[in-house]
Amino acid sequence: MQIIKNTLFILKTSASGLLIGFLILFFIPDSRMPFNWNSAKSAWQFYQQQQLQPRLPQKDSILSVENLSFSSAVQKAYPSVVSINAFRPKGLRNNARLNKDEKILDVGVGFGSGIILSEDGYIVTNHHVIAEADKISINLPDGRRRWVSLIGFDKLMDIAILKTDIRDIKPAELANSSEVRTGDIVMAIGSPFGSNQSVSLGIVSAIPQSPIEAQIQTDAAINSGNSGGPLINSRGQVIGINQMILASRGGGQTGINYAIPIDQVKKIVTDIITYGRVRRNWLGISAVELPLASHQQQFPDIQFGTGFFVNKVDKGSPSERAGIQVGDFITRFEEQNITGVFSFHKLYYDTPIGKEVKIELIRKEKTLIFKVQLFEQNMPEK
């Protein structure tokens, strides 16, 4: 019995010694134990520092807009935006200060906006802003005013080019509008109703599918006087020229506004400055895409969505000369597949004037290939 008691005493004493030794090692500074005093102290300080630091939004978390601002983008674009006054004669009228037989010229003033394109004074705006104007003036954001000359215009795309002799001006930075995506944040800058320049914020609601009659749709507010001003992205780059609004029956805002893509503007401006006109390819056909049910019923052997039908061929056009006929189903252009009219426009629009192109089509269940010599619209070959 005594042996058992002695054994239990020794075990208890050893266990207590081990426990005390472990606790001493744990709290000794610079101890090599996994958890020592310095380690615990450093961990606590690190925890307190992290609690005091602002928490940044995670990739998948909701973005806080509390400190969000686009002022840098606006300030970047603002010096390149001008307000435009277009003076239009309305006729002669009487005046109380003059004799009965004397009349004065009644002049109306239209308002719009414009964008400085180059340091040598080229400015772009909408054609409808300056149409039928006798004189045109611009106002710069720094207060300078000048008369400007009209270099040229394109009614089809509603673009006009002006020129000023003012120097020390800042051209706008132009973006690539083909990179614009639905949902991008955009801002419209201009002089609505002839007021000082103002900014409205919105997003890209829809993007154009075809270079022809292409417009960027946005819900950024555009009013009378904004026409010709820039639609910019969040980096202050111009992606389009504000053109028009879709008004309600009562004339109010619908939130549906349109801008001309800047890529189209670049081409038009270059042509007008270089050639004095806009040069466009002329193929001379009109196209139609039938609804799925009609397509399958009338043309069961032709796969839907692989091309488009020709419903008109202009007399004397390159297409007529090549032999293309009404009813032909065009499937390929220059070895590239066509999914529809919009697809065709994208391929055709940038084709150099005068180039001979290959067009593949289906006619009466037969595949045919035609070579078409393009030339400039309204300027047939001699």
Which residues carry out catalysis? Answer: 128, 158, 227
Alpha-carbon distances of 177 from 188, 240, 264, 349, rounded to whole Å: 15, 7, 9, 15
Q: How many Å apart are CA 159 and CA 259, to the nearest integer?
A: 11
The tokens for 313 are: 């061929």
| Contacts (Cβ under 8 Å, ≥6 apart) of 303 | none
| Contacts (Cβ under 8 Å, ≥6 apart) of 224 | 111, 192, 193
| Contacts (Cβ under 8 Å, ≥6 apart) of 147 | 135, 136, 137
- Are the C-beta atoms of 302 and 335 separated by less than 8 Å? no
Which has the closest alpha carbon to 117: 278, 273, 242? 273
**Which residues are bridge partners to 91 per DSSP?**
106
What's at 276, amino acid-wise? Answer: G
**Which residues are bridge partners to 199 per DSSP?**
189
The tokens for 242 are: 């504000």
Q: How many Å apart are CA 139 and CA 83, to the nearest integer?
A: 5
- Are the C-beta atoms of 161 and 122 separated by less than 8 Å? yes
The tokens for 167 are: 């120097």
